[in-house]
Chain A
Amino acid sequence: MAHEVEIPSVEHVSGTGIPVRGNDIDTDQIIPARFMKVVTFDGLGEFAFFDLRFDDEDEEKDHPFNETQYQDANVLVVNANFGCGSSREHAPQALMRWGIDAVVGESFAEIFAGNCLALGIPTVTADQATIEAIQDWVVANPDGDIDVDVAAETVTYGDTTVDVDVDEAQRKALVEGIWDTTALMKANENAIAETAANLPYVGSD
């Protein structure tokens, strides 16, 4: 008998923000390939954005993930096409294990957003001006509270509340606590077998 897994709902994420600016930040930058020579995700947090954070002598470079005021942040605020490139789940895993619980941005690569969802991390979007305003606010208010309300599709920072978009399937999955799809899909074993039986190329197992 398979073990049941408790899946929490993610209606909103609250905490402080951390801005990482720039378009087209790919997953090779979020977690360089050499740190993927591992068979578990456990230690990946310390390698998030590694090559953007450290030079060849392992000296710290300017990067928000190095800055003291952001060390407890859990809402990452990014720009366009974040998480493009490789499908490696190591990227959202590294962010999650560093402490990120939600990502707010202009747009996300689809596999990246899907990987985040599989970890219960919302990826919510808004237009460029809205995102830049949030980033500027976070810089000015590193201790200020941000609330990402997944159910209501809003982000509140300081006294400001803005509308954001949450993909409908993502919203439903997070709010209803059905984002871990293994058990959900395993429950349909008969229908799976039926679909397979109707495919001319699939043999019986």
Chain B
Amino acid sequence: MSRGTLYDKVWDRHKVTTLPNGQDQLFVGLHLIHEVTSPQAFGMLRERDIEVARPDLTHATVDHIVPTDDQSRPLGDDAAEEMMAELEANVREAGIQFDDPTTGNQGIVHVIGPEQGITQPGTTIVCGDSHTSTHGAFGALAFGIGTSQIRDVLATQTVAMEKKQVRKIEVTGELGEGVGAKDVVLTIIRELGTDGGVGYVYEYAGEAIESLGMEGRMSICNMSIEGGARAGYVNPDETTYEWLRDTDEFRDDPEKFERLKPYWESIASDADAEYDDVVTIDGSAIEPVVTWGTTPGQGIGITEPIPDPESLPADKVETARRAQEHMRVSPGETMEGYDVDVAFLGSCTNARLADLRDAAEVVEGREVHDSVRAMVVPGSQRVKAAAEAEGLDEVFREAGFDWRGAGCSMCLGMNADQLEGDEACASSSNRNFVGRQGSKDGRTVLMSPKMVAAAAVTGEVTDVRELPKREVEA
């Protein structure tokens, strides 16, 4: 078993007791809730006549169903309005802080926590959303949970869990030009498999990870779940502290920052920590990655050929064959040149300010291709405001992108933003499952924000590193 890792230390600090079933009862430092997975949990509490234990450690927003254009009330979609109203009633009754769209703080649950500084190192964070692993970028232990567990947390501020093993994933070297966090995590999932992380939490380390900013680390931790890991984290360091210093929690309270910093430093993995497994990946060999199939593990470097299903391990053959049929791709070809109808820049994986800057850099001075419907959906109202303050919205608008309001949008299609028919989408989101973006015939190709930008302007999957050269040729 692992010893001396951040995971071990934070687990021990938060362990209340071992339950009769053998699971550990863990104290939850921050419970994030949203409109989709919490109403039934509040219902169950009412049935049992239990009150919310720690509203002060609970924080709500609305993201999955919220429209990204007209957010005036009542919402145009009756079902969405009902969910919104239910959340409002629940948080009001319990006295939980709620970042609704009128506050200027609303956004995707995994974007607002870090930007407000409530996501901190050495904390335990849970949310009824699998991408809660995002918060691990700060050195928090962050887990996605189901609705019955939300009930548990609301009732007790604790959750029942089994301790996992720790796998250190060391990404060495320097990332190449045009290569970013998204390419790194897609490479990890491809190499270890979508179920490779079952039974593990992932500790991301190595030069390529440490040199990333907080946004990049969040993109990587965000997709831990796509690799089957229950959580992922990066040890806190100066990059982490710099981010925190400038958040609501600490901007005007430097004493609080100084008081907590020794704790944050103390929970980082020891130099001689023991891991259950260590995997090393050469970061300098990673190129921009895109998916060719219908799971996040079906990715390839942009210059690599799409694999022949028959060449894959026996248990992957059938899934690959069906995926290639759905995506209409053939072995031996590369994904470069794959026609796209939609470009979606958004989601809890890649809709932070740094992601929008990355994409804007590619878009600037270019135009969205005639055949592409392109949209930017900032991860939060604050990201949107910050992007507008530096003129990114103008860059996107001038190029022909639709500049929209904050929310989960087309990532999972629980709102009006959806693929239609068999549209192919260059997407900065996290899942390419069949039907994921709202149309069961839709085709999602996962990629980095830069690569989405490149696809938007050329109308096809494009190696962002080759984009300037292509224009010279044209």
| A, B from the same assembly | yes
A residues neighboring B (CB under 8 Å): 1-3, 5, 22-24, 26, 28-29, 32-34, 36-41, 51, 80-81, 84-90, 92-93, 107, 109-111, 114-115, 118-119, 128, 167-169, 172-173, 176, 178-182, 184-186, 188-189, 191-192, 194-196, 198-203, 205
**Least CB separation from B87: chain A residue:** A39
Q: A199's contact among B13, B20, B195, B259, by CB below 8 Å, is which?
A: B13
- Cβ of A26: which chain B residues have Cβ within 8 Å of it? 295, 431, 433
User: Which residue on A lies nearest to B316, using beta carbons?
Assistant: A23
Q: Which of B68-93 contact A (CB under 8 A)?
A: 77, 79-80, 82-83, 86
Find the A residue at minimum CB distance from B86.
A39
Of A36, A39, A173, A200, the residue contacting B260 (CB under 8 A) is A200
User: Which residues of A lie under 8 Å from residue B436 when comparing CB positions?
Assistant: 28, 33
B67 interface residue (CB < 8 Å to A)? no
Task: Indicate if the CB atoms of B65 and A37 lie closer than 8 Å.
Answer: yes
Q: Are B145 and A185 in contact (CB under 8 A)?
A: no
Please tell me the number of chain B residues within 8 Å of chain A, measured between CB atoms. Answer: 81
B386 at the interface (CB under 8 A from A): no
Q: How far is the CA of A47 from the CA of B22 in the complex (A)?
A: 35
* B286 at interface, CB cutoff 8 A: no
The reply to whether A2 and B146 form a contact with Cβ atoms under 8 Å apart is no
- A81 touching B194 by the CB < 8 A rule? yes
B48 touches A5 (CB 8 A): yes
In the assembled complex, which residues on chain B have CB atoms less than 8 Å from the CB atom of A201?
Answer: 29, 120, 122-123, 260, 263
Q: Give the docked Cα–Cα distance between A205 and B15 (Å).
A: 19
Chain A residues positioned under 8 Å from B228 (CB to CB):
81, 84, 109-110
**Listed stretches B149-157, B233-241, B357-365; interface member:** B149-157
Task: Return A202 CB to nearest CB of chain B, in Å.
Answer: 6
| Residues of chain A with a CB closer than 8 A to B194's CB | 24, 81, 84
Whether B438 is near chain A, meaning CB under 8 Å from some CB there, is yes
| Cβ-defined contact, A107 with B20, below 8 A | no
Does the CB pair A191–B65 fall under 8 Å?
no
Interface-facing stretch out of B34-42, B98-106, B302-310 = B34-42
Residues on B with beta carbons closer than 8 Å to the beta carbon of A119? 148
A200→B259 contact, CB < 8 A: yes
B145 touches A182 (CB 8 A): no
Q: How far is the CB of A92 from chain B (nearest CB, A)?
A: 8
The answer to whether B79 touches A89 (Cβ under 8 A) is no
CB-CB under 8 A from B25, the residues of chain A are: 185, 188, 192
Do B146 and A88 touch (CB < 8 A)?
yes
Point out which of A41, A85, A107, A167 has the most chain B C-beta atoms below 10 A from its C-beta: A85
For residue B168, CB closer than 8 A to chain A, the reply is no
Query: B198 interface residue, CB < 8 Å from A?
Result: yes
Q: Which residues of A contact B354 (CB under 8 A)?
A: none
How many inter-chain residue pairs (CB < 8 Å) link A and B?
222
B63 to chain A, nearest CB (A): 13
The one of A34, A80, A167 in contact with B195, judged by C-beta atoms closer than 8 angstroms, is A80
Q: Is the CB of B21 within 8 A of A188?
A: no
Known contacts A84-B194, A178-B21, A205-B56, A192 near B146 by CB under 8 Å: no
Asked if B207 lies at the interface with its beta carbon under 8 angstroms from chain A, I say no
A84-B194, A186-B156 known; A89+B148 contact, CB < 8 A: yes
Q: Let me know if A202 and B57 touch, CB within 8 A.
A: yes
Residue of B nearest to A200 (CB): B263
Q: Is residue B17 contacting chain A, with contact meaning CB distance below 8 A?
A: yes
Expressed in whole angstroms, the minimum distance between the Cβ of B201 and any Cβ of chain A is 10
Is there an interface contact between B198 and A110, defined as CB atoms closer than 8 Å?
A: yes
- Residues from chain B with a CB closer than 8 A to the CB of A110 are 198-199, 228, 230
Which residues of B in the span 99-151 have a Cβ within 8 Å of any Cβ on A?
A: 120, 122-123, 128-130, 132, 144-149, 151
User: Contact between B21 and A179 (Cβ–Cβ < 8 Å)?
Assistant: yes
Contact among A87, A128, A203 for B56, CB-based, below 8 A: A203
Bound complex: CA A188 to CA B27 (Å): 11
**A37-B80, A198-B13, A205-B56 given as contacts; is B156 within 8 A of A89 (CB)?**
no
User: Complex Cα distance A24/B320, Å?
Assistant: 11
Tell whether B472 is near chain A: CB-to-CB under 8 Å: no
| Interface membership of B426, Cβ < 8 A | no
- Which A residues lie within 8 Å of B56 (CB)? 203, 205
Cβ contact of B160, chosen from A185, A194, A203, cutoff 8 A: A185
CB distance from A22 to the nearest CB of B (A): 7
The contact of B23 among A22, A169, A199, by CB within 8 Å, is: A169
Asked if A185 contacts B19 (CB within 8 A), the reply is yes
Indicate whether B278 reaches chain A with its CB closer than 8 angstroms.
no
Could you tell me if A28 and B19 are in contact, using CB atoms closer than 8 angstroms? no
